[in-house]
Structure 1
Amino acid sequence: MKKIVLTGGLALAIISCKNNQINQNITDTAAVKSSIADEQLMDKVQKDALKYFWDYAEPNSFLGRERYHEDDIYPDKDKHVITTGGSGFGLATILVGVERGFVPRNEAVKRLTTMMDFLAKADRHKGVWSHWINGETGKTVPFGKKDNGGDLVETAFLTSGILMVREYFKNGNAEEKALAKKCDELWKGIQWNWYTKGGEKVLYWHWSPEYQWEMNFPLQGYNECLITYILAASSPTYSIDAETYYKGWTRNGTYLSDKEKYGLPMYVKHNGAEEYGGPLFWAHYSYIGLDPTNLSDKLINNYFDLNKNQVLIDYKYCLENPKQWKGYGPNYWGLTASYTRNKNGGTGYNAHFPQNDHGVITPTAALSSFPYTPKESMDFLKFLYNHKPEFIGTAGPYDATSIHYDNWFTPRYLAIDQGTIAPMIENYRTGFLWKLFMNAPEIQQGLKKLSFKSEKYNIR
């Protein structure tokens, strides 16, 4: 056979072509390796956050403790104080743990059954749980002097988790079906319409048997409370009408905004934070189960865009860094409510957002924003685990950090912050919790009642 020898430009072209193919293969291999590393890192932070609700759960009820402090010299002081809303996020976190094989399914069912039995016997105020509950007795622990009754918003966060547990186990074995039935009974016992204060076209946050409506806090948008109206409209037993949603939550449509920041439309007026938007938990708490993807109602064309823009505005603010905090940048960003560093160097609590920026970055802000800003959130996750191990504790990233103050951090956790990390990362990865919640029959009907639309879930 005759050899064909290539010379000149044609030979160079073929060599170049082969080199390009080799380079492409190297690039593809590197991308696959990077993707595997990203997946492993997401697994890691989800497992870590799960520990808060599995290893550090309140020991009698197994519900979520309000806080856990690694540096506490009195570790048992708040051991039995349960947080209702944080427990709801904890339920979602445990479901992620089961689905990913981080915890055994049968052990989770036993724990969840104990939780539902506890909630059934705990104090309820017209079916609504209080903000805090004693995990040993089930009695209301006052959150404030007059805040000693039902907390509708915390109950909504809890109920969202209860419904997802029901949906996940309703077609399982006998023990799982019994668990789902307990969840269903708890859901049906909540008197959402009582919290309209006798039929006003708005929901109220608090009611107390002792102080009645003295707290006087109507739920009006925009903040973290949207899920409360969705659940109230979806209730098969004590529902509200669509007029209550549009008159109350949207303020007859006056909560809409035509403002932009960094060229990004804000769509709604964020209560008390209209220039940049509120703390980032407003883009998380209502959306553990409620899927904002292409979700619309009569006034908002796409809730995903609303949330994404809020997160991006926060991100761009941290890049702009007008107060010149050391460390702020594309790998270290995210402002939300959390523990904070006080002026005297001690630990306090504050709702951080661009107009209330104290140089403190809260890891849950970026990590729970994965569905909206996957690249920016991944950059933060990599930076945290690869370059700031001092910011990571036994149950994942600590609640509050600051590079500016000599790498200050508080070795403490809060359920409401730790509880959104695994669920929102999972919603980015698979949509797992979104599918559970959005396919619940009552939620479908409630969303239709309020004129929501989602092609993804056949809601028209």
Structure 2
Amino acid sequence: MSTKILDLEAKGCFDFFWNEANTNPASKGYGLILDQSANKQVASIASVGFGLTAIIIGIERGWITYEQGYERTKGTLETFLYNAEHEGGFFYHFLNMETAQKNETFYDCASIIDSTLFFNGAITSAEYFGGEIKELFEKIYERVDWPMYYDESVNQYYMGYNVDTGGFHHWETYAEQMTQYLLGVASPTHPVPVKIYEGFERKLAKYGPYEFVNAPGGALFVHQFSHAFFDFKHYLDGDGMDWFENSVQASLASRHYSIENPKGLKTYHENSWGLTACASPNGYIVPGTPPFYPNVDPPNEGTVPPAGAAGSIVFTPEESIAALNYYYENHPQLWGEYGFQDAYNLDVEPAWYANHVIGIDKGITLLMIENYRSGLVWDLYMKNKYVQRGIELLNWKKK
């Protein structure tokens, strides 16, 4: 099976993060990266987290020099330390590309998960560059007030924070938030109690021959995002849970759903699978794979994003590479300036192909391809002293 597509797609992903950033050194938003290529005004802090790690991959792959990467990384971390709007050290989902203040064109809040994805990228930067980069990360991390986003009454993190009303919604179930527990308990300044890890529901369910803990809507990114940084392949949690194998089962279940194709849709089949958050003919959607929680009905209407299969390449290498080759060879309209466009749908007339990319989809694709090929991101993240401290406090063990 040809793996040339991995080179092509990885370089396309990197180019998005490198080219779609604020590169004006006089700007308060230096280093901020677009949420998506279709909107040139709005930065995503999660996109920046993936983008910081993309810089490291770019250096190691010879796409940029070490000096270029160092300069961009240093300036980006300075932006987050001194300019980016935050509440208790947690940043807003979306920032103005020029001012680094929260985006005012629609409602936004300080987000714990998007901030954690940024912190994860900053950790890889700290471990790769050391020195001044590590010092900047330390200052950003030490400022984070984890208890501000902790609801002790239910022993769960809040999802967001509003300056007028405080914390809201909760991380009630398993999803993409796993590294929040590591970084929260390991904080040297404002930690949350270790017991927080016991606060979210783990609901074991089965779809086809696959059994796994699923999140309410079954989107595949919930099984991928934490795994892009933390090497769950070699660890069990304190209860003996194998989260890596859980993601293997979830990825195979996602493919099984497209093969089974209960709605008889044109787009779904064995090489067109991986339902996850993406663009669609009707805007941004979050489709997913059964089993679903009660009263959850994901919009499974035929849209498939390449990032779904690509983000699971460490779990299902053969199946993921086969899907990427299928998209590349059979859907030239899906290929663009930054590799695969965000998604496509053959179940509308005419067939629909996205004309843009989304940062978090390019990010999970790039990091997982690199982990599959070299383990680079895992190796860097796992070296961090706070990550190791979190492992120790949560009693996670090597397999």
Shared fold per TM-score greater than 0.5: yes
Q: Distance in 1 between matches of 2:90 and 2:152?
A: 16
- What does residue 294 of structure 2 align with? none
Matched residue, 1:131: 93
Corresponding letter in the other structure for 2:31: F
Which residue matches 1:82? Answer: 43
Does the Cα contact within 8 Å between 2:33 and 2:97 map onto a contact in 1? no
Pair 1:168-2:128 in alignment: yes
Among 447, 451, 455, which residue is 2:391 paired with? 447
* Higher gyration radius (CA): 1
Please list every run of 5 or more consecutive structure 2 residues that lacks an aligned counterpart in the other structure. Answer: 25-29, 291-297
Structure 2 counterpart SS, 1:332: coil
C-alpha distance in 2, partners of 1:135/1:117? 15
- Do the aligned residues in 2 keep the contact of 1:133 with 1:139 (CA within 8 Å)? yes
Q: Which of 202, 219, 223 is 1:279 aligned to?
A: 219
Q: Which residue is equivalent to 1:222?
A: 174
Pick aligned residue for 1:265 from 189, 203, 211: 211
Is the 2:267–2:303 Cα contact (8 Å) retained in structure 1? no
* 1:391 pairs with 2:353: no
Q: Return the offset for 1:407.
A: 3.6
Amino acid paired to 2:269: G
The residue number in structure 2 matching 1:65 is 34
One-letter identity of the residue aligned with 2:384: A
**How far apart, in 2, do the equivalents of 1:367 and 1:93 lie?**
16
Q: Structure 1 residue 436: deviation in Å?
A: 0.8
Q: Which residue of 141, 152, 160 maps to 2:103? A: 141
The amino acid that maps onto 1:178 is: E
Show the counterpart of 1:192: 146
1:375 is displaced (CA, Å) by 0.4
Flag the 1:142–1:220 CA change in 2: closer, same or farther, 3 A. farther
2:304 pairs with 1:361: yes
1:368 to 1:392, Cα distance in 2 relative to 1, 3 A: same
* 1:290 maps onto 2:230 in alignment: yes
Please report how far the alpha carbon of residue 285 of structure 1 lies from its aligned counterpart in structure 2 after TM superposition. 1.2
The answer on 1:372 being equivalent to 2:315 is yes
Distance across 2 between alignment mates of 1:417 and 1:143: 23
How far apart are 1:80 and its partner, in Å?
Answer: 3.2
- What is the alpha-carbon distance in structure 1 between the residues aligned to residue 127 and residue 54 of structure 2? 15
Alignment of 1:349 with 2:284, yes or no, is yes
2-side partners of 1:95 and 1:155: how far apart?
A: 19
4+ residue segments displaced more than 6 Å = none
Per-residue CA distance 1:139-185 (angstroms, 9 max, x = gap): 1225854x44x211111010000001000111xxxxxx222221222
**C-alpha deviation, 1:212, in angstroms:** 2.0
RMSD: 1.8
> In structure 2, which of residues 40, 43, 64 is the aligned counterpart of residue 103 of structure 1?
64
> What's the offset of the Cα at 1:88?
0.7
Between the aligned partners of 2:280 and 2:311, the Cα distance in structure 1 is: 18
SS in structure 2 of the partner of residue 62 of structure 1? coil
Out of 301, 325, 328, the residue aligned to residue 265 of structure 2 is 325
Return the TM-score normalized by structure 1: 0.80
TM-fit CA distance, 1:135: 2.3
For residue 280 of structure 1, report the CA deviation from its aligned partner: 0.7
- Work out the CA distance in 2 between the residues paired with 1:154 and 1:392: 27
Rounded to whole Å, the distance in 2 between the matches of 1:106 and 1:306 is 39
Cα distance, 1:272 vs. partner? 2.4
* Distance apart, 1:398 and its partner CA: 0.7
Instruction: Tell me by how many angstroms 1:53 deviates.
Output: 0.7
Cα displacement (A) at 1:205:
1.6
Higher strand share: 2
Return the alpha-carbon distance in structure 2 between the equivalents of residues 354 and 109 of structure 1: 40
Distance, in Å, in 2 between the alignment partners of 1:143 and 1:300 is: 45
Query: RCO (CA 8 Å, sep 6+): is it higher in 1 or 2?
Result: 2
1:93 matches 2:30: no
SS of residue matched to 1:92: helix
Task: Provide, for residues 31-77 of structure 1, a one-character-per-residue CA deviation record: whole Å limited to 9, x for no partner.
Answer: xxx5xx41x321111000111111122344222211112xxxxxxxx
For this pair of structures, how many residues does the alignment match? Answer: 384
Report the more deviating stretch, 226-235 or 134-143: 134-143
CA drift at 1:225: 1.4
Counterpart pick for 2:12 among 44, 48, 53 = 48
Q: Secondary structure at the match of 2:357?
A: strand
